């Protein structure tokens, strides 16, 4: 079974600064997808970024980018120019490509605080 | 396009009762997954339905069940509620295959007294 670990329960960043959230995972599969989801106080889970394991290029979405290290099984999220609206819980998630389903395995989450 | 909707948003029940939660996926999405979120256990996968069939199932007791209708709307049912069932229940929808991104609804907050 796959496991996802987020070792930082809480992180803090100054507005306009850059912060990196860590995620490691354990799998014996070679094909899979990785995601970062954001959960603000409203509790609505919002997709931040997605990475296909077969792609060597790191995914980027505006101020959000990832550092995907497949051999190290590491998938960190970098948020540049942090904004107050970035304050939320961030979850790293894994999905296998080997079965037909959409089951996500989540990490424990990192609470990001943004200081004005 | 309207997002994933879940009803009700909040629910209070007592131990021993049963509850039914509903999820309407994004139009055109045929996969619906359910997750339980608690402070202690985090986010855990309950089950996934696709074309009215359960495609995946997490490690939950048989008190947790679900179904999907022909219009892709899904319901989950919890019978004989326990205090530990208090949680945020999230529903996510996706198109069909495992290359798709899932989109989450706002959740149903269930409190068991």
pLDDT per residue as tens digits for the range A57-105? 899 999 999 999 999 999 999 999 999 999 999 999 999 887 667 889 9
pLDDT of residue A56: 84
Chain B residues at the A interface, defined by Cβ less than 8 Å, are 31, 33, 35, 42-45, 48, 50, 55-56, 58, 88, 90, 92, 94, 97-107, 109
* Contact pairs from chain A to chain B, CB under 8 Å: 68
Helix/strand/coil for B73: coil
CB contact under 8 A, B33 and A44: no
* Residue the block writes with tokens 């080997």: A98
For chain A, counts of helices (H) and of strands (E)? 0, 12
pLDDT of residue B104: 94
Could you tell me where the beta strands, DSSP code E, fall in B1-113? 5-7, 10-13, 19-24, 31-38, 42-50, 53-57, 64-68, 74-78, 87-94, 103-104, 108-112
Q: Quick check: A61 and A67 in contact, CB under 8 A?
A: no
* pLDDT of B85 above 80: yes
> Computed over its alpha carbons, how large is the radius of gyration of chain A?
14
Residue A107 half-sphere exposure toward CB, CA atoms < 13 A: 30
CB contact under 8 A, B94 and A108: no
CB contact under 8 A, B48 and A45: no
* A55 contact partners, CB below 8 Å, separation of at least 6: none
Q: Quick check: A16 and A39 in contact, CB under 8 A?
A: no
Name the residue in chain A with its Cα closest to that of B55: A101
pLDDT of residue B99: 65
pLDDT of residue B101: 82
Helix/strand/coil for B38: strand
Which residue of B98, B99, B101 is in closest CB contact with A99?
B98
* pLDDT of B97 above 70: no
* pLDDT of A1 above 90: no
B51-84 pLDDT, tens digit each? 999 988 999 999 999 999 999 999 999 999 999 9
Is A5 in the B-facing interface, judged by CB distances under 8 Å? no
């Amino acid at each position: 079974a796959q496991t996802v670990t987020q070792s930082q329960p809480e992180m803090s960043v100054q507005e306009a600064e850059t912060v990196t959230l860590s995620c490691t995972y354990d799998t014996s599969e070679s094909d899979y997808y990785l995601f970062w989801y954001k959960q603000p106080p409203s509790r609505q889970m919002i997709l931040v970024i997605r990475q296909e394991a077969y792609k060597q290029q790191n995914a980027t979405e505006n101020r959000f980018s990832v550092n995907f290290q497949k051999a190290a099984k590491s998938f960190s999220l970098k948020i540049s120019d942090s904004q107050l609206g970035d304050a939320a819980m961030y979850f790293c998630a894994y999905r296998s490509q080997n079965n037909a389903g959409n089951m996500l395995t989540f990490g424990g989450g990192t609470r990001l605080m943004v200081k004005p | 396009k309207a997002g994933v909707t879940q009803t009700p948003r909040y629910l209070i029940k007592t131990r021993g009762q049963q509850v039914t939660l509903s999820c309407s996926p994004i139009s055109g999405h045929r996969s619906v997954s359910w997750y339980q979120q608690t402070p202690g256990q985090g986010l855990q996968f309950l089950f996934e339905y696709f074309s009215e069939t359960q495609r995946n199932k997490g490690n939950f007791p048989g008190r947790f069940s679900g179904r999907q209708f022909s219009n892709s709307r899904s319901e989950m049912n919890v019978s004989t509620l326990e205090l530990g069932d208090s949680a945020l229940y999230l529903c996510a929808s996706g198109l069909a295959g495992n290359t798709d991104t899932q989109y989450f609804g706002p959740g149903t907050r269930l409190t068991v007294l």
